[in-house]
Structure 1
Amino acid sequence: MQTDLSAALDIGGTKIAGALVDPRGRLLVRAARPTPADKDGATVMRAVAEVLGELAAAPDWVRVAAVGIGSAGPVDAATGTVSPVNIPGWRDFPLVAGVRALVGERPVVLVGDGVAMTAAEHWQGAARGHANALCMVVSTGVGGGLVLNGRLHPGPTGNAGHIGHISVDVDGDPCPCGSRGCVERIASGPNIARRALAHGWQPGPDGDTSAAGVAAAAHAGDPVALRSFERAARALAAGIAATATLVEIDIAVIGGGVAGAGEVLFRPLRAALRDYATLSFVSGLTVVPAQMGTDAGVVGAAAAAQQSRLDAFVPTP
């Protein structure tokens, strides 16, 4: 029997998604459950087990060679534990051990959700064909991951590329992470909306005070909404330029709900990037929207599992 599939899990604060993914990135079987984020850790793990059980009931399960997990973080791939900010019942939770108990002898690979998104965009999406890339999720938080020399670079704990907690304003607002002026504190959806409201923006008749509401107002020309997105764009540009200067990426891919604002975000972002990415070896850096959409998590988790499986067959020098 050919074992050429990956089982993939995408674990977030609202949904646990799973899929069986073939070597071309196609999702053959899907399963999902709501995340019982307000419950204890064992209850959340039961939801994971239900998703895996649905996948394991499919005839193609016998072809699964490895299991990949992309989880909201922080994660610690070295210990196999997760402590997602938006799942309070999981603190240093032994997720890898729990999944291994359900999948038999198959290897299990854990990465952060930003790294999983990066793996998906590099394998099948906007970063395809680029040897050095930064991919970002800009939504309720800001996460990311790196591809270096053509390979996913998760780092020792699975969190490498977490651009959301690069400080771009040393005297900025305190961030929940403990630092100040982080990219996430300025450019995440809730913080875009917070700033707009603080500076006098008024929501429309629908009362939408989210970043999507601010984006709609910006598209209509509201100056306060536009300035809020411009400030977010400058924070993103500063973080992207710093990353590019450090590791010489040539493309930055941005997905997540805030990226759905389109040119309201990308136009000022590209303009600000010209101010920050000034050295010759980063001046050609491009920024593009992500392509993988809601499937990025499971496709990326599968890609991470595939890379890990291939690495296992590479002889150590």
Structure 2
Amino acid sequence: MTKTQLSDCYNRISPYIHNTPVLTSRLVNTYTNATVFFKCENFQKTGAYKMRGATNAIMQLSSEQKSKGVVTHSSGNFAQALSFAAKSLDVKATIVMPANSPKVKKDAVVEYGGHIVECAPTIEAREATANQIVNDTGATFIHPSNDPDVILGQGTACIELLKAQPDLDVIFCPVGGGGLIAGSALAAHYYGHNCQVVGGEPMEADDAYRSLLSGTIETNQTAHTIADGLRTQLGHHNFPIIQKHVKQITRVSEVEIIEAMRFIWERMKLIIEPSSAVAFAAVIKDEKMVRNKKIGVIISGGNVDVNNLPF
């Protein structure tokens, strides 16, 4: 993917997304011995960065494809993002969701204009149901993270961060399906100045860490992490980008994730979800790497159940 493709994507979706704020905290800087800049995608439409990739993917479809609608399988932020983006662009969105998805997430999808088709709570059932809808309706399937247009869209958050702070040394972002870190790595490569990208990943779902070591896409037998947005795995589109452009992936424990999340809530008064806290937890853990440097952190989202906080 080229700089021109990334730049065109940014210009294309800009009217439909928020240029979210970049915030700092003197207390955070003292705590980390670094100068930290938070790109706050928790203030993005639908509460997460995924609005960017969803919008770009739909805008790249032909008129005929748009007329037949789009479909994805997701129980989280991408379900809401694709629903909202599709409604904004006058396209029908069908969202395959596990039957046990939280009611609050189902309600949000409906509110944003998505049509829900429920399935059994397995990845096999999700994929089979989505494929059936594609076969029956001719709708276009859009993967939440392993799609080139989605990857480019997600990278625009990092473009905005680097436009605001062009001299960052390292950018940390969470790793789940790989779309955000792949897009961010491309943005850092084309728009940064010797800027490295580091991923944060839960130890309980460390498939990306192991994938970089083995050179092949690894899976998780279990993913018992509070960072529910990071329980997915890398794909064949984003993994080669990660291999080429990501310096390292730092694993963090569940305790470290919760402590980082609580720190941001209490000290910066920002509502962030556990998946976002993983990136900041990695900053804290990589003390030697970040010391006396300018650090960017992608706060990926703020969609959290306030009735079920870990602290």
Mark yes or no: TM-score above 0.5: no
- Structure number with greater Rg is 1
Question: Which structure ranks higher in relative contact order (CA pairs < 8 Å, sequence separation ≥ 6)?
Answer: 2
Q: TM-score, normalised by structure 1?
A: 0.32
Give the number of the structure whose residues are more often helix, by fraction: 2
Q: TM-score, normalised by structure 2?
A: 0.33
